[in-house]
A and B are shown apart, each in its own frame.
Chain A
Amino acid sequence: MNTPDSNFFNPKDHVGQKESYLQNPTAFHIIYIDDISKSKITKLEAWKGAKDPNEVGDDRLNNSRIIREVNLNEDANTPQIQQFDQSVYKLTLKDNKDNYCFAFEYNDKLPFLRSGVNLPIPIKLGGKLIVKRGTMIKNGTLLLNRAQCQYLGVDESSTLVKNLNANLLEKSINILQNPDL
């Protein structure tokens, strides 16, 4: 039976291929989410801030943030550029046969990663994602477009979801502080 849950994607099968396309719709679980537009140190501070607001400069007493840096070259002439969303997410995915792969956001932004949750990562880990047939594969990674993704959310009762999200703050800080990673 050809269902997303029975299909799989092993990046090793695509090594050496310049470009190919996903042959069948495939179900994945999202194992990790990384914003590749931000440096490690920026992400580390965001995680530390989520863990202990005082450490990086939240000011709960006055309901504001402590300003830790001032750009002195910025004078009245700095144009007021509308801050648009520069983030690009790289997902670590796992299919139902425990194959792991990377997937990048490609050409457009995936709306389910922009739900406005105020954590350093935008959604809970472990959610289920169906990647549709015809998605481009390049260098062994999936290039995701919004039309080809169907996000089904997290199953709170699953062990995977519980394990992935347990102590997420500490785990993320450890990973980002590890110089070998």
Chain B
Amino acid sequence: MKVLCVAEKPSIAKEVTNILSGGKSVRRNSPSKYNSNFDFKFDFPGHGVCDVTMTSVTGHINRTDFPAQYGWGKVPPGRLFELPIEVKIDKDKAAIHRNISTEARNSTYLMIWTDCDREGEAIGYEIFEAAQKGNRSISFNHVWRSHFSHLERNHILNAARNPTGLDMKVVDAVNCRQELDLRVGASFTRLLTDALRGQKNIPSPVSYGTCQFPALGFVVDRYKRVKSFKEEKFWYLQADVEKDGQTAHFNWTRGRFFDRLYVITLYQECMKNPHGKIDSVTKKPTSNYKPYPLTTVQLQKDCSTFYKMSAKATLDAAEKLYTGGWISYPRTETDKFPRAMNLKSIVETQTQDSRWGQFARELLDGGFSQPREGKNDDKSHPPIHPVKFQKLEAIKDDNQRKVYEYVVRRFLACCSTDAKGFQTVATLVWGNEIFKATGLEVSELNYLKVYTYRKWSSSETLPPFQQGESIPIKFSEVKEGKTGPPNHMTETELIALMDANGIGTDATIADHIDRIGARSYIQKVKKGGSEIIVPTELGIGLIEGFSSINFENNISLSKPSLRKRLEVLLKEVETGRRTKDQALKENVDLYRKAFVTTAENQAILINEYKKYQT
């Protein structure tokens, strides 16, 4: 009996082959230059030792598009919401398709080794269709789906021995997203390109994407708020007292007010009393909590903050580390480890390192503590963690080295304990006002010893205040401050915003940001040692154009609401609460209405666009 295995990338095919074959495989060329075939034997439970051929695809094999007769200029763009679409073999992937069909001819079972995420499931179905083309007897029941999240040997062997079937609800969700992206993207792109043709700065085509425009919308919104910012004055009280020759600064618990007269009035009341009273002094243990297990978005945010790496560069480096078998699958939303997972064995692999090996040994000698549990679980992948030990010096690529070090330190920090200390809080009552002073004494660094990205240190200690003591006010004043402008947009914050607003998924956010850059809607600018994102004139013009149109029901094409709705519906398709057709209909209807409104208001859009071109 023969089993045909197909992975999502050549590198995964090679790694899984090495593990399943025990290093005894024979490589054959395939019609596709980069997708080799590997023959070996493997013992599948219940089927005995089988002949296995492992091959790969490179992402999707199929392409969803409109037939040629509906091409640009041949139909009004608005009709693209209802005209039939066709799913064809991508012509660049024809050789891969042919290889799978050929290899399937004498196979009994097909085993899918694509990534365990939404796209992976859909690619799995495309592989099944390709296999069926070569061999009609491979039915849906002959498809095994392996579940794995990293390339550690036992994990892969386990995945090979415990497959399930393909989840068609997930495949439906992907097809729904593909169809909607095609219809909305093509119709709006054609409409915008035709409407804005001949205007200044206009590229051809003017591409519209359901994720890209809301992302651009955030960048424009922030840029405008920074530009239009005017500082405002505010006032607050401060009081210093002295004890045993030591001065302590007390901060007003009421914060600040934008009315000077009010603060002065309160100050006058205070000033009636030359003394204040220490109302309470408390010394309580405090903790600096260890981080949550690592998700993709958090990895991108942190690598951007700590290493100034772009989201895409981070994900690319993490992908390479994953296909090399060094870390787990880097696209995950999960921030809690499964209870049954043997984390200590992973800690064990890191004990040989010269930098954090000692720390890992201490964890195994009693310092280990179960990681914190976040609220997110995508049910397919655990949080990102190291799989195999690798010396940093041996990782040639700078980005990969940084990401690997970060993943390991984060993991060890998760398995350690919170940092501990004591916080002293003294409360001063002066007249009718309350002030507080705090002092921090750090007693145990714990996880911070390995998680060197975060700092927590002792502050100056407070003088030995006694509860109830009357104490002279040594110095006090009404202080004036000014509000500061919002921060410019950074890639880190844009990722966080897209994530928080449900635009794109952990796997795609980086691509969307990259794409709006490639389309010259945004640009990255160096400012004071960091990199900020600002919109181009083209980008501002497009967003302001859309913002000037009044859509029904307060929907907006430059804000995240429509796309977020789609993500919610896709989740419902995945869980079976809604069918693909229902979700598609609801979304197509929403976008179609917005399209009609846009088409009717082209003149407004063009006028608004022009205002922002210099």
Residues of A that sit less than 8 Å from B by CB: 18, 36-41, 52-54, 57-62, 66-70, 72, 75-77, 86, 88, 90, 102, 104, 107, 138-139, 141, 143, 179
Q: Are the C-beta atoms of A36 and B554 separated by less than 8 Å?
A: no
Given A37-B257, A66-B560, A143-B265, 17 other A-B residues pairs in contact with their CB atoms under 8 A:
A36-B259, A41-B232, A52-B554, A53-B554, A54-B555, A58-B554, A61-B565, A62-B568, A66-B501, A66-B559, A67-B497, A67-B501, A69-B486, A69-B497, A72-B301, A88-B257, A179-B230
Chain A contacts for B227, CB-based, 8 A: none
Q: Are the C-beta atoms of A76 and B221 separated by less than 8 Å?
A: no
Chain B contacts for A67, CB-based, 8 A: 497, 500-501
| Chain A interface SS verdict (over half) | loop
Q: Are the C-beta atoms of B259 and A139 separated by less than 8 Å?
A: no
CB 8 Å contact bits of B548-591 with A (1 = contact, 0 = none): 00000111100111101100100000000000000000000010
Instruction: Say whether, besides A62-B561, A90-B259, A139-B261, A40 and B232 are in contact (CB < 8 Å).
Output: yes
User: Which single member of B218, B289, B501 contacts A76 (CB below 8 Å)?
Assistant: B289
Bound form: Cα–Cα A62–B555 in Å: 10
> Which of chain A's residues has its CB closest to B290's CB?
A76
Instruction: Say whether, besides A39-B483, A107-B432, A57 and B232 are in contact (CB < 8 Å).
Output: no
Q: Are the C-beta atoms of A139 and B264 separated by less than 8 Å?
A: yes
User: Which single member of A38, A54, A72 contacts B556 (CB below 8 Å)?
Assistant: A54
> Which of chain A's residues has its CB closest to B456's CB?
A77
User: Which single member of A60, A66, A72, A104 contacts B305 (CB below 8 Å)?
Assistant: A72
A172 to chain B, nearest CB (A): 16
Chain B contacts for A107, CB-based, 8 A: 432
Bound form: Cα–Cα A61–B590 in Å: 10
Chain A contacts for B454, CB-based, 8 A: 75
CB 8 Å contact bits of B32-71 with A (1 = contact, 0 = none): 0000000000000000000000000000000000000000
Q: Are the C-beta atoms of B288 and A77 separated by less than 8 Å?
A: yes
> Which of chain B's residues has its CB closest to A65's CB?
B501
Chain B contacts for A41, CB-based, 8 A: 229-230, 232, 483
Chain A contacts for B259, CB-based, 8 A: 36, 90, 104
Does B291 sit within 8 A of A, measured CB to CB? yes
Q: Are the C-beta atoms of A72 and B554 separated by less than 8 Å?
A: no
Q: Are the C-beta atoms of A90 and B262 separated by less than 8 Å?
A: yes
Does B292 sit within 8 A of A, measured CB to CB? yes
Chain A contacts for B234, CB-based, 8 A: 39
A111 to chain B, nearest CB (A): 19
CB 8 Å contact bits of B424-463 with A (1 = contact, 0 = none): 0000000010000000000000000000001000000000
CB 8 Å contact bits of B193-218 with A (1 = contact, 0 = none): 00000000000000000000000001
Q: Are the C-beta atoms of B262 and A88 separated by less than 8 Å?
A: yes
Instruction: Say whether, besides A76-B289, A90-B262, A70 and B500 are in contact (CB < 8 Å).
Output: yes
Q: Are the C-beta atoms of B254 and A86 separated by less than 8 Å?
A: yes
Does B268 sit within 8 A of A, measured CB to CB? yes
Q: Are the C-beta atoms of B560 and A59 separated by less than 8 Å?
A: yes
Tally of contact residues, B, Cβ under 8 A: 51
Q: Can you list 28 contacts pairing A with B, beta carbon distance less than 8 Å?
A: A36-B258, A37-B257, A38-B258, A41-B483, A53-B554, A54-B555, A59-B560, A59-B561, A59-B564, A60-B554, A60-B555, A60-B561, A61-B553, A61-B554, A62-B561, A62-B568, A68-B218, A68-B222, A69-B497, A75-B454, A77-B288, A86-B255, A88-B257, A88-B262, A139-B264, A139-B265, A141-B265, A179-B230
> Which of chain A's residues has its CB closest to B287's CB?
A77
Does B496 sit within 8 A of A, measured CB to CB? yes
> Which of chain A's residues has its CB closest to B568's CB?
A62
Instruction: Say whether, besides A54-B556, A104-B265, A68 and B221 are in contact (CB < 8 Å).
Output: yes
Instruction: Say whether, besides A66-B559, A72-B493, A60 and B553 are in contact (CB < 8 Å).
Output: yes
Chain A contacts for B497, CB-based, 8 A: 67-70
Does B334 sit within 8 A of A, measured CB to CB? no
Bound form: Cα–Cα A70–B230 in Å: 21
Q: Are the C-beta atoms of A62 and B258 separated by less than 8 Å?
A: no
Q: Are the C-beta atoms of A104 and B262 separated by less than 8 Å?
A: yes
Chain B contacts for A102, CB-based, 8 A: 261
Chain B contacts for A70, CB-based, 8 A: 493, 496-497, 500
Instruction: Say whether, besides A40-B258, A67-B497, A139-B265, A72 and B559 are in contact (CB < 8 Å).
Output: no
Does B114 sit within 8 A of A, measured CB to CB? no
Chain A contacts for B492, CB-based, 8 A: 72
Chain A contacts for B490, CB-based, 8 A: 72
Q: Are the C-beta atoms of A76 and B262 separated by less than 8 Å?
A: no
Bound form: Cα–Cα A143–B261 in Å: 12
Q: Are the C-beta atoms of B565 and A62 separated by less than 8 Å?
A: yes
Chain B contacts for A86, CB-based, 8 A: 254-255
CB 8 Å contact bits of B266-301 with A (1 = contact, 0 = none): 001100000000000000000011111000000001
Bound form: Cα–Cα A41–B305 in Å: 28
Q: Are the C-beta atoms of A39 and B562 separated by less than 8 Å?
A: no
Bound form: Cα–Cα A23–B519 in Å: 71
Bound form: Cα–Cα A146–B365 in Å: 61
> Which of chain B's residues has its CB closest to A35's CB?
B258
B366 to chain A, nearest CB (A): 24
Chain A contacts for B372, CB-based, 8 A: 76
Chain B contacts for A77, CB-based, 8 A: 288-289
Q: Are the C-beta atoms of A138 and B501 separated by less than 8 Å?
A: no
A60 to chain B, nearest CB (A): 5
> Which of chain A's residues has its CB closest to B559's CB?
A66
Bound form: Cα–Cα A39–B257 in Å: 8
> Which of chain A's residues has its CB closest to B272's CB?
A19
> Which of chain A's residues has its CB closest to B496's CB?
A70
Q: Are the C-beta atoms of B501 and A37 separated by less than 8 Å?
A: no
B395 to chain A, nearest CB (A): 27
> Which of chain B's residues has its CB closest to A40's CB?
B232
A59 to chain B, nearest CB (A): 4
Bound form: Cα–Cα A53–B200 in Å: 32
Chain B contacts for A54, CB-based, 8 A: 554-556, 559
Bound form: Cα–Cα A107–B486 in Å: 32
Chain A contacts for B268, CB-based, 8 A: 18, 138-139
A43 to chain B, nearest CB (A): 9
> Which of chain B's residues has its CB closest to A143's CB?
B265
Chain A contacts for B292, CB-based, 8 A: 76
> Which of chain A's residues has its CB closest to B500's CB?
A67
Chain A contacts for B264, CB-based, 8 A: 139
> Which of chain A's residues has its CB closest to B217's CB?
A66
B590 to chain A, nearest CB (A): 8
Chain B contacts for A52, CB-based, 8 A: 554
| Max chain A C-beta neighbours (<10 A), residue from B229, B291, B501, B502 | B501
A22 to chain B, nearest CB (A): 15
CB contact list, B235-268 vs A, under 8 A: 254-259, 261-262, 264-265, 268
Chain B contacts for A179, CB-based, 8 A: 230
B452 to chain A, nearest CB (A): 15
> Which of chain B's residues has its CB closest to A138's CB?
B265
